[in-house]
Structure 1
Amino acid sequence: MANEQIIEKIYELIAPLNRKGIELKPDVTFASDLELDSLTVMDLVADIEDEFDIVLPLNLLPELETIAQVANAVEKIINKG
């Protein structure tokens, strides 16, 4: 799966959580731009894992601040599998 497809799917998963109506772009951050709390982020992580049938390692999560970083991590895990 190409990175662009992964990003588009992540946009779809974020849309219901995007209460501020921020334009979703690869460099949008979950905490600052979207103002998602940690519980909402964990729900989003679970949705991403279900959607792509992967597991995002917990030790990796603090490094994933933007949509692009999450998409890159998902792509690496998919390609490894």
Structure 2
Amino acid sequence: MANREDIMAKISELIGPFNNKGVALTPETTFQGDLEWDSLTVMDFVAAVEDEFDIIITMNMQADIESVGQLSDAVAKLMEN
């Protein structure tokens, strides 16, 4: 079982190709505000996260996830199930 730090590191790695502005990533980094992602970028990134961790992130969950830290917590919770 991966811990939050491992999950955060992997998510940061996955963000790399989508981080066109070179934003420094922290748990508080937001996808829309800081990274300025549009909906297509979000969908592509979610697909990459789902593939990497072998999980499904529902649309309802996505609506509640605004930051890298929230995504890390959600992935950890989904991996427990």
TM-score normalised by length of structure 1? 0.96
Structure 2 match to 1:27: 28
Unmatched 5+ stretches in structure 1:
none
Structure 1 match to 2:43: 42
Q: State percent identity of aligned pairs.
A: 49
Which 4+ stretches in 1 moved above 6 angstroms? none
Q: CA deviation at 1:58?
A: 1.3
How many residues end up aligned between the 2 structures?
80
Q: How does 1:52-67 map to 2 (within 5 A)?
A: 52-67=53-68
State the alpha-carbon separation in 2 of the partners of residues 13 and 66 from structure 1: 14
**What CA RMSD, in Å, does the superposition of the two structures yield over aligned residues?**
0.6
Q: CA deviation at 1:77?
A: 0.5
Q: CA deviation at 1:23?
A: 0.4
Unmatched 5+ stretches in structure 2:
none
Q: CA deviation at 1:57?
A: 1.3
Q: CA deviation at 1:59?
A: 1.0
